[in-house]
Structure 1
Amino acid sequence: MEQILGELTVWHWLALGLVLFGIEMMTGTFDLLMVSIAAWLTGGFAWAAPEAYAVWQGQLAFFGIAALALIVIGRTLLSGMRNRGDEHPTLNKRMVSLVGQRGQATGDFSGGNGQIKIGDSVWGAEAADRMVPIHAGDSVVVEGARMTTAIVRKV
């Protein structure tokens, strides 16, 4: 084992970093990214450190410390990068994207249901407050959505 470890070179660390980076791209765990960076840093250490420190024991110690430090940094300081937020929370959710928009009733609402026009589209709608009558031409604002129906209130 010592004979194998004694032959560690810069290229071994760079290759290890590349393999770990490839696995990271497939899994998306973010932790392997930190370990791959530690491997690349260890390659730099093996290349630049004095011969007395760049022996295999020094390389493994440097790699272990660097990997541990980078994982801790990744889990604490860079933890916000791990959370994936929707870039477009209303993408492919057309009814949700209508919330807050104003439109006009195309006809009288009967039983609290009717249709509204927003822009050049006509949508099925339901009155948020069924006690307030909505008539043709009344301005409404979309308060929410239920399936393919907009929940509206009279402005």
Structure 2
Amino acid sequence: MLEELFTHLTVWHWLALGLLLFGIEMMTGTFDLLMISIAAWLTAAFAALAPDSLSHWQGQVLFFGAASVALFVLGRTVLSGMRKTTPEHPTLNKRMDSLIGQRGVATSDFSSAGQGRVKIGDTVWGAETVDGSEVIHNGDGIVVEGARMNTALVRKSA
């Protein structure tokens, strides 16, 4: 019975199997089924291009098995770096951290406590001087050295 099922394998069966495995891979994200779906597509090409003496159902199943094992091992060893998750950008969704190193202009005189307002890009931010002793006046250039909560820690630019 199983032999009768395999006797009628065509290129379309392998393409459909590859698409099915690829669809499952997209839902699971394991990367392993991707390799096996590629093996199914390679088997479809084998079934279409190989001479009839090699492309009977036993040859197709043998080719699929060998290609699946080879691609699976390749995916687990050589291409293992693709399986690792990449960390997000270090300042993604961290607006204040992304300001570090930016240059701007003081929009007010800083108080004796070292607090004032600065314009960085098109936004005005609350700011403090880094060491608290530096005098910054309206219009002075600044550089952001750090951030605390939603306050930029700045120093006068040279």
TM range (shorter): 0.7 to 0.9
Question: Which residue does 2:45 correspond to in 1?
Answer: 44
- Aligned partner letter, 1:14: L
Is 1:151 aligned to residue 147 of structure 2? no
> Structure 1 50/129 Cα, relative in aligned 2: closer, same or farther at 3 Å?
same
> Structure 1 65/101 Cα, relative in aligned 2: closer, same or farther at 3 Å?
same
| 1:139 aligns with one of 128, 141, 146 | 141
Question: Which residue does 2:102 correspond to in 1?
Answer: 101
Question: Which residue does 1:4 correspond to in 2?
Answer: 5
Deviation at 1:12, TM superposition (A): 0.9
The answer to whether the Cα contact below 8 Å between 2:115 and 2:128 also exists between their aligned partners in 1 is: yes
Question: Which residue does 1:113 correspond to in 2?
Answer: 115
Q: TM-score, normalised by structure 1?
A: 0.77
> Structure 1 110/64 Cα, relative in aligned 2: closer, same or farther at 3 Å?
farther
Q: Percent identity?
A: 64
Q: TM-score, normalised by structure 2?
A: 0.76
Q: Runs of 5+ in structure 1 lacking a partner?
A: none
- Aligned partner letter, 2:115: N
Matches of 2:112 and 2:68, distance apart in 1: 67
Map Cα deviations across residues 96-125 of structure 1 (whole Å, 9 max, x no partner): 332211122322144343321223421012
The answer to whether the Cα contact below 8 Å between 2:134 and 2:155 also exists between their aligned partners in 1 is: no
The answer to whether the Cα contact below 8 Å between 2:128 and 2:153 also exists between their aligned partners in 1 is: yes
Number of residue pairs matched by the alignment: 154
Deviation at 1:28, TM superposition (A): 3.2
The answer to whether the Cα contact below 8 Å between 1:115 and 1:122 also exists between their aligned partners in 2 is: yes
3-state secondary structure, aligned to 1:143: strand
3-state secondary structure, aligned to 1:114: strand
3-state secondary structure, aligned to 1:107: coil
Q: Runs of 5+ in structure 2 lacking a partner?
A: none
Deviation at 1:13, TM superposition (A): 0.5
- Aligned partner letter, 2:143: V
Map Cα deviations across residues 60-95 of structure 1 (whole Å, 9 max, x no partner): 221122122223333444455445657976554432
The answer to whether the Cα contact below 8 Å between 1:109 and 1:133 also exists between their aligned partners in 2 is: no
The answer to whether the Cα contact below 8 Å between 1:109 and 1:115 also exists between their aligned partners in 2 is: no
- Aligned partner letter, 1:148: N
